[in-house]
């Protein structure tokens, strides 16, 4: 139609909606105009006069602000009819979408809902304006959808500016100062909101000296970021050091039960809220990989978390306390210590001891973001604690944004896993919290979904342009965990490449699907087999090194010898880790017969000749998958070349992707050759197909 849009409502986020609509108008050749209605008598009309009922192509209206425009009222009536008189409230972020008559209508209870509704309309594209669509209600499954930046203010001598960052420097900081590029940060806020993210932690969980000061004398830097992200409904969190009372407060102790320490946290936190009234809270990595924590004072992690929670509670803030606690100074000779057990051993017994505004942030697997791991048993062990599940969007162990690795299929598997068996609650429902809470009654709500960010100041945001899809998919799955990863990819392709504007949209879409849909499994094929994990270069974690961590203190072993491979984590003869799971998994993982192939070496040590459910032996599986994985990468590169020959993608982007695909192929070959050679030499078992192994 004419593209006329009506925005009804007021507030800061409604202003963002107006700006977005205005911007959309420029993209679409100025066809869209907006009219802004303020509630009641404060009515303003911008552009043309109201031409009456049914005249708008798009109406975005806040329900609470009577009188509703006619089209909105009609949809409101239909919504009540469809969902019953007591239609659940939409919440802070939900919206209703319908096509009514000749217009598309978005209704929300709060301004953020209008913003998400608008982005949904953008996502639907022309189909939002096509045939009638019945009323749909959209509400996020997770109240909290957070990205954790592992960014340092200074360039750190060991980890660089962004720890595990593969997209240039930090988007927030440069040369020890805030990154003065407000336009870029605003664009970032927009990108995140369009993906569904509503919270960001702005610094690394490993808090170094400069970064510790963000809590006090450098709080203004954080406030500046909060100011730029706020118009997109994004709240800012800070990673803090547990030793802050000593480092910043000059106290002699950080003992959580010490009155002076409590008072310091309370006073410091009050100042934070003076400066940033909508501050989200703290993220804490304590007693982990050298970070300070409550163990130094003989206190528990509940004591530690609660002192921060108590300081945040009056202001509605949360503390995200990470469960990534394990002994990284382990003796590799000691077969009884098992890093996989650590989080459960430290935290399960503390269930029920955390304050209501503590969120225990649990990595989705028991180890550390490997290409394949079982779900962490902690997720099933703490019914009396708010849990957030942590993913890693940054590709530390999945190709470091040099390899194409679309992670949504992996996350989707994790989210729909039922720790108590099929039909019971899933990982997604644990993170979301009890359904009765989605009206917004916060205290018992789940902790949500969190991910380590993959964004930097790179022009493509994520280093590898195709890695943007992971960022987008994370936000979408946190909003709606049951979305199909392939459908999410379709959305991302349409939003990113605008296929309709290219000469051959079908070729573009099809090729991107061929390249990305199965790329996580491809990555798994040419790297570590059957759930055993690691085998990476120590330190930076890129590229193969089968024994890289084998005799180290980090607790990440494969135990390969001439006869077999894998970690015995059974109760019968191993570390007993399988006993941390409820039934049925406790028995399924314990059993050599029932354990799924893809996790076999995570739970069992087996001879190379052990036969998998797939029919192959372990050793032949290793050879076959490594040859196949490299073939698939070569095919990926050929596919991309066809796209680029057809001129379907922007030149700069094309050049970047080609450079990365060359490296991915080189690296995949290196993985194949090292892993295959290693296991041929260890086992002496030749490849059944007689292929060349070095």
Residues contacting 359, CB < 8 A, separation 6+: 144, 318, 319, 320, 321, 386, 387, 388, 447, 448
Largest CA distance in the chain: 85
- Distance between CA 489 and CA 469 in Å, rounded? 7
- Distance between CA 118 and CA 58 in Å, rounded? 9
- Distance between CA 467 and CA 453 in Å, rounded? 11
Task: State the nearest-atom distance from the C-beta of 289 to ligand GCU, in Å.
Answer: 6
- Residue number with CB closer to ligand GCU (156 or 186): 156
Closest CA to 439 of 197, 11, 143: 143
Selected from 20, 57, 163, 524, the binder of ligand GCU by CB under 6 A is 163
- Residue number with CB closer to ligand GCU (71 or 161): 161
- Distance between CA 515 and CA 524 in Å, rounded? 15
Task: State the nearest-atom distance from the C-beta of 501 to ligand GCU, in Å.
Answer: 40
Task: State the nearest-atom distance from the C-beta of 324 to ligand GCU, in Å.
Answer: 5
Q: Is 320 in the site for ligand GCU (CB under 6 A)?
A: no
Q: Please state, as a whole number, how many other Cβ atoms lie within 10 Å of the Cβ of residue 258.
A: 17
Indicate the DSSP class of residue 405.
Answer: -
Selected from 205, 431, 657, 693, the binder of ligand GCU by CB under 6 A is 205
Pattern 337-376, ligand GCU, x by CB under 6 A: -------------------------------x--------
Q: Please state, as a whole number, how many other Cβ atoms lie within 10 Å of the Cβ of residue 24.
A: 18
Residue 420 near residue 436 (C-beta atoms within 8 A): no
- Distance between CA 547 and CA 557 in Å, rounded? 8
Site for ligand GCU in 52-111 (CB under 6 A): none
Task: State the nearest-atom distance from the C-beta of 149 to ligand GCU, in Å.
Answer: 12
Task: State the nearest-atom distance from the C-beta of 222 to ligand GCU, in Å.
Answer: 20
Selected from 37, 321, 324, 406, the binder of ligand GCU by CB under 6 A is 324
Residue 640 near residue 658 (C-beta atoms within 8 A): yes
- Provide the terminal-to-terminal Cα distance of the chain, rounded to the nearest Å: 65
Site for ligand GCU in 582-611 (CB under 6 A): none
Q: Is 206 in the site for ligand GCU (CB under 6 A)?
A: yes
- Residue number with CB closer to ligand GCU (396 or 491): 396
Measured CA distances, 194 to 27, 278, 560, 589 (Å): 16, 20, 46, 39
- Distance between CA 327 and CA 556 in Å, rounded? 11
- Distance between CA 454 and CA 473 in Å, rounded? 12
- Residue number with CB closer to ligand GCU (205 or 212): 205
- Distance between CA 409 and CA 418 in Å, rounded? 16
Task: State the nearest-atom distance from the C-beta of 211 to ligand GCU, in Å.
Answer: 13
- Residue number with CB closer to ligand GCU (36 or 148): 148
Site for ligand GCU in 275-294 (CB under 6 A): 285, 289
- Residue number with CB closer to ligand GCU (228 or 455): 455
Task: State the nearest-atom distance from the C-beta of 148 to ligand GCU, in Å.
Answer: 9
- Residue number with CB closer to ligand GCU (315 or 542): 542
Q: Is 626 in the site for ligand GCU (CB under 6 A)?
A: no
- Residue number with CB closer to ligand GCU (390 or 598): 390
Locate tokens 């090194």: which residue?
545
- Distance between CA 114 and CA 122 in Å, rounded? 12
Exposed e or buried b per residue across 96-122, where buried means at least 16 C-beta atoms within 10 angstroms of its C-beta:
bbbbbeebbbbbbbbbbbbbbbbbbbe
Closest CA to 361 of 321, 391, 326: 321
- Residue number with CB closer to ligand GCU (160 or 440): 160
- Residue number with CB closer to ligand GCU (540 or 666): 540
One-character DSSP codes across 152-213: EEEEETTTEEETT--SSS-SSEETTEE---HHHHHHHHHHHHHHT--EEE-S-SS--HHHHG
Q: Please state, as a whole number, how many other Cβ atoms lie within 10 Å of the Cβ of residue 691.
A: 12
Task: State the nearest-atom distance from the C-beta of 305 to ligand GCU, in Å.
Answer: 16
Task: State the nearest-atom distance from the C-beta of 397 to ligand GCU, in Å.
Answer: 8
- Distance between CA 181 and CA 171 in Å, rounded? 9
Count the alpha carbons within 13 Å of 386 in the hemisphere toward its beta carbon: 25
Site for ligand GCU in 388-407 (CB under 6 A): 396
Report the catalytic residues: 289, 368, 396
Task: State the nearest-atom distance from the C-beta of 433 to ligand GCU, in Å.
Answer: 23
Copy the structure tokens of residue 237.
């969190």
Task: State the nearest-atom distance from the C-beta of 328 to ligand GCU, in Å.
Answer: 8
Selected from 164, 213, 346, 558, the binder of ligand GCU by CB under 6 A is 164
**Dihedral of CA 643/526/481/346: which sign?**
negative
Tell me how many residues contact ligand GCU (CB under 6 A): 9
- Residue number with CB closer to ligand GCU (69 or 533): 533
| Residues engaged in binding ligand GCU (CB under 6 A) | 163-164, 205-206, 285, 289, 324, 368, 396
């Amino acid at each position: 139609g004419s593209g006329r849009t009506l925005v009804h409502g007021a507030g800061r986020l409604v202003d963002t909606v107006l700006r977005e609509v205005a911007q959309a108008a420029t993209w679409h050749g100025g066809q869209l105009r907006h009219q802004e209605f303020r509630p009641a008598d404060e009515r303003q009309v911008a552009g043309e006069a109201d031409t009456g009922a049914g005249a708008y192509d798009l109406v975005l209206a806040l329900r609470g602000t009577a009188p509703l425009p006619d089209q909105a009222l009609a949809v409101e009536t239909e919504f009540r009819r469809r969902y019953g008189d007591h239609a659940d409230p939409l919440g802070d972020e939900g919206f209703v979408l319908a096509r009514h008559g000749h217009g598309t209508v978005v209704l929300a209870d709060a301004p953020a809902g209008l913003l998400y509704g608008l982005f949904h309309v953008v996502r639907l594209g022309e189909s939002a304006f096509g045939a009638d669509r019945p009323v749909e209600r959209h509400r996020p499954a997770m109240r909290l959808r957070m990205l954790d930046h592992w960014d340092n203010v200074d360039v750190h001598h060991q980890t660089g500016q962004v720890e595990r960052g593969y997209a240039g420097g930090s988007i927030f900081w440069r040369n020890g100062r805030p990154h003065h590029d407000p336009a870029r940060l605003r664009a970032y806020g927009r990108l995140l909101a369009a993906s569904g993210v509503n919270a960001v932690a702005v610094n690394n969980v490993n808090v170094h000296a400069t970064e510790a000061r963000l809590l006090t004398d450098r709080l203004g830097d954080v406030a500046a970021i909060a100011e730029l992200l706020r118009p997109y409904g994004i709240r800012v969190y800070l990673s803090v050091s547990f030793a802050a009372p000593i480092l910043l407060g000059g106290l002699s102790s950080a003992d959580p039960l010490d009155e002076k320490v409590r008072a310091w946290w309370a006073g410091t936190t009050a100042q934070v809220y003076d400066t940033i009234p909508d501050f989200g809270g703290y993220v804490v990595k304590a007693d982990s990989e050298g970070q300070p924590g409550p163990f130094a004072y003989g206190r528990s992690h509940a004591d530690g978390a609660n002192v921060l929670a108590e300081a945040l509670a009056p202001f509605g803030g949360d503390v995200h306390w990470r469960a990534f606690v394990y002994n990284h100074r382990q003796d590799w000779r000691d077969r009884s210590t098992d890093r996989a057990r650590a989080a459960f051993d430290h935290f399960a017994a503390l269930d029920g001891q955390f304050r209501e505004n503590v969120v225990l942030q649990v990595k989705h697997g028991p180890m550390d973001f490997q290409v394949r791991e079982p779900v962490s048993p902690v997720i099933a062990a703490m019914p009396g604690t708010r849990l957030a599940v942590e993913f890693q969007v940054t590709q530390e162990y999945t190709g470091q944004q040099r390899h194409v690795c679309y992670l949504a299929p992996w996350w989707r598997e994790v989210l729909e896993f039922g720790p108590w068996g099929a039909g019971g609650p899933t990982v997604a429902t644990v993170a979301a919290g009890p359904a009765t809470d989605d009206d917004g009654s916060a205290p018992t709500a789940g902790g949500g979904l969190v991910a380590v960010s993959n964004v930097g100041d790179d022009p493509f945001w994520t280093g590898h342009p195709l890695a943007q899809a992971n960022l987008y998919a994370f936000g979408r799955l946190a909003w709606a965990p049951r979305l199909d990863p392939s459908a999410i990819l379709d959305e991302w392709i349409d939003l990113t490449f605008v296929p309709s504007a290219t000469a051959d949209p079908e070729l573009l879409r099809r090729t991107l699907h061929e390249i990305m849909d199965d790329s996580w499994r491809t990555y798994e094929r040419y790297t570590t087999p059957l759930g055993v994990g690691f085998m990476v270069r120590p330190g930076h974690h890129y590229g193969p090194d089968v024994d890289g961590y084998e005799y180290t203190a980090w607790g990440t072993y494969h135990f390969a010898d001439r006869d077999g491979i894998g970690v015995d984590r059974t109760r019968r003869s191993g570390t007993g880790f399988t006993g941390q799971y409820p039934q049925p998994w406790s028995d399924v993982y314990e059993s050599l017969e029932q354990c799924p192939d893809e996790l076999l070496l995570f739970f069992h040590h087996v001879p190379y000749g052990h036969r998998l459910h797939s029919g192959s032996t372990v050793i032949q599986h290793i050879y076959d998958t490594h040859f196949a994985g490299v073939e698939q990468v070569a095919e990926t590169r050929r596919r991309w070349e066809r796209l680029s020959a057809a001129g379907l993608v922007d030149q700069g982007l094309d050049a970047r992707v080609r450079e990365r695909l060359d490296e991915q192929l080189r690296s995949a070959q290196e993985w194949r050759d090292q892993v295959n050679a290693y296991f041929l030499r260890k086992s002496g078992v030749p490849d059944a197909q007689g292929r060349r192994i070095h």
